[in-house]
């Protein structure tokens, strides 16, 4: 392989790595990112604990970056969970505000109620994720 071709390939690989890193690195503003709490070994309810119900604001939500899940509470006591991976370019959504789940990469916005696309370029809604809510705890599965 000649030197010019190696330079072009190396530059392309570096650019791709920078682009991939940039897609999911935006932080939320004001605590939208919360760390999941591990479940205990004797949990009878199944999945790992994500949060307490009081941690999810009514009319808003919280992005769990490590789990790639966003949990919303469209109305009091109603909890929904969706993939946090945008259906446009696979960036992670970063915030939940004004009734939408927001992707920082290209401006896609999704409804907190059903993850329907409210502003593109995302081509389809965020996929639903399964959660259970019991005793003030939200768990995966």
pLDDT at residue 47, rounded to an integer: 83
Segment 49-66, tens digit of pLDDT: 999 999 999 999 999 999
pLDDT of residue 46: 60
For 83-118, the DSSP string reads ESB-TTT-PBP-EEETTEEE-TTT--EEETTT--EE
Q: pLDDT higher for 28 or 50? A: 50
Indicate the pairing of strand 80-83 with strand 109-111.
Answer: unpaired
For residues 23 and 138, the model is more confident at 138
pLDDT at residue 83 is higher than 90: yes
Report whether pLDDT(25) > 70: no
Is the pLDDT at 110 greater than 80? The verdict is yes
Please give the residue that has the higher pLDDT: either 3 or 103. 103
Q: Which residues, in sequence order, are CB contacts of 72 under 8 Å at separation 6+?
A: 56, 60, 61, 79, 80, 81, 82, 96, 101, 112, 113
Taking the CB of residue 85, how many other CB atoms lie within 10 A of it?
A: 19
Reduced to 3 states (helix: H, G, I; strand: E, B; else coil), residue 3 is helix
The rounded mean pLDDT for the chain is 78
Give the pLDDT mean for 31-57: 62
d(Cα 105, Cα 134) in Å, to the nearest integer? 35
At residue 128, the pLDDT reads 97
For the residues of 5-69, what is the DSSP string, one character each? HHHHHHHHHHHHHHHHHHHT-PPPSSS-B-PPPPPPTT-SS-SPEEEEGGGS-TTEEEEETTTTE
């Amino acid at each position: 392989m000649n030197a010019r071709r190696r330079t072009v390939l190396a530059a392309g690989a570096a650019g791709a790595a920078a682009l991939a890193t940039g897609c999911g690195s935006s932080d939320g503003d004001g605590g939208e990112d919360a760390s999941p709490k591990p479940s205990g070994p004797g949990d009878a309810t199944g999945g790992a604990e994500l949060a307490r119900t009081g941690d999810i604001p009514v009319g808003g939500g919280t992005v769990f970056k490590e789990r790639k899940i966003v949990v919303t509470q469209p109305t009091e006591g109603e909890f929904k969970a969706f993939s946090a991976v945008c259906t446009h370019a696979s960036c992670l959504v970063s915030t939940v505000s004004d009734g939408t789940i927001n992707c920082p990469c290209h401006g896609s916005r999704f409804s907190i109620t059903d993850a329907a696309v409210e502003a593109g370029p995302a081509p389809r809604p965020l996929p639903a994720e399964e959660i259970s809510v019991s005793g003030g705890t939200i768990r995966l599965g």
